[in-house]
Amino acid sequence: MQDRRAFIQRTVAGGVGAASLAFAGCLGDDEGDGDFPSQQFHGVIPWGQGGGTDIFTREIWQEIADQNDVSIGFENVTGAAGVRGITELYGSEPDGYTISPMNSPSVVPLLTQDPGFTIDEFRHIGAYTQTVWVLVTDPDLDLEEFDEVVEAYENGDIGSISGQSPGEPNHVLAESLKSELDVPWENYVAYDGSGPVIQAVASGEVSAGIVTETAAADAEDQIDIIAALSSEGSPVFPDLPVYTDYGYEPEIDFMGQFLRSFMAPPDTPDDRIDILNENLQEALESDELQSWADETGNHLEYLGGEAEVLEVLEENQERIPEIIDLDDLE
């Protein structure tokens, strides 16, 4: 195991994105003068440029860097469902200057690919928003309520449900709808992203789909949005019913909403994590970020520090293997 980990660290450390070559020259020396932060931050983003996580990370950390009057360089280290980037963070200097975004469903690829470490070894800075999943259906089916959809599955009027690749959160959610809430869908159809799921539902190729609330908001006229899959409800659709309104216990909340947070390498000192946490809270309340959030329809809110984030991640780590067979994904 040790050899493999060293190999992975070497490989990933070598595999730095070309964009970062431009930034590499600007990195300052480690002065260690106790005045933190005084150097350039380095944001390692394990997902592609232009995606939701990428945009959130760049906006928020640019603001944190501006507040401290330091610069920041970002690097998208993509691949292996995020594990490559997370591995790069794992091997980074624990000085508080290197950070990454983390989304709670990413515990799945870490469990299946077993890169030689677990998510609780990292230091977690804090959570900045959560995204709720919603159930959507083909408008031609005229299904309006969650219990009507369940009934249609029970009667065999509809059979399919769609989401992303096996192991992605909407797949785990579909499986938990079946195992925890007894929704008897017959076949799960996988698409490459929320957009294609919506297109398939809107065109009637599949009867129902599970997408994020933001993706559903973009296509409100073309699909029926049935219910939020988190008992806390959807911030984007405050009036939307939630599945627990129909007499269900909140059994699938751990997957029905996902937490977006930031983390630092293992062994980053407490005092630096505390400073970054305060910086994050301050940035999230700043006028700049709040007006950006309003303009772009994103929601930003400080949702807790290391303890709260770890609680969610550990619950995911524990519950997901109960719902889906991880061996199928290896």
Residue identified by tokens 């995204």 is 131
Q: Does 52 bind other proteins (CB under 8 A)?
A: yes
Whichever of 59 and 306 has its CB closer to other proteins, that residue is 59
- Which tokens hold the place of 67? 């507040």
Q: Does 51 bind other proteins (CB under 8 A)?
A: yes
Q: Tell me how crowded residue 28 is: count the other CB atoms within 10 A of its CB.
A: 11
Q: Does 83 bind other proteins (CB under 8 A)?
A: yes
Q: Does 129 bind other proteins (CB under 8 A)?
A: no
- Residue pair 72/59 in contact by the 8 Å Cβ criterion: no
Q: Does 130 bind other proteins (CB under 8 A)?
A: no
Which H helix or E strand runs over 133?
strand 123-137
- Which tokens hold the place of 41? 């931050």
Least distance from other proteins to the Cβ atom of residue 94, Å? 22
Q: Does 48 bind other proteins (CB under 8 A)?
A: yes
Q: Residues 181, 231, 170, CA angle at the centre, nearest 5°?
A: 60
The DSSP output letter for 134 is E
Whichever of 59 and 224 has its CB closer to other proteins, that residue is 59
Least distance from other proteins to the Cβ atom of residue 91, Å? 14
Residue identified by tokens 């309520």 is 145
Least distance from other proteins to the Cβ atom of residue 244, Å? 29
Using CB under 8 A, which of 6, 13, 15, 322 touches other proteins? Answer: 15
Q: Does 307 bind other proteins (CB under 8 A)?
A: no
Q: Residue 249 burial (CB < 10 Å; 0-12/13-18/19+)?
A: exposed
Whichever of 69 and 295 has its CB closer to other proteins, that residue is 295
Binding region for other proteins (CB under 8 A) out of 194-202, 250-258, 259-267, 278-286: 194-202
- Specify the length of the chain in residues: 330
| Range 215-254, binding other proteins (CB under 8 A) | 215, 217-222
Q: Does 208 bind other proteins (CB under 8 A)?
A: no
Q: Output b/e per residue, 130-144; b: 16+ Cβ within 10 A.
A: bbbbbbbbbeebebe
List CB contacts of 46: < 8 A, sequence separation 6 or more.
Answer: 76, 77, 78, 82, 83, 84, 85, 86, 88, 89, 100, 101, 106
Using CB under 8 A, which of 160, 230, 257, 279 touches other proteins? Answer: 160
In order of 207, 264, 295, the CA distances from 97 in angstroms are 47, 8, 29
Least distance from other proteins to the Cβ atom of residue 32, Å? 29
Using CB under 8 A, which of 92, 98, 176, 194 touches other proteins? Answer: 194
Binding site for other proteins (CB under 8 A): 8, 11, 14-20, 22, 48-52, 54-55, 58-59, 62, 74, 76-81, 83-84, 113, 115, 160, 164-167, 171, 187-196, 198-200, 202-203, 205-206, 215, 217-222, 295-297, 328-330
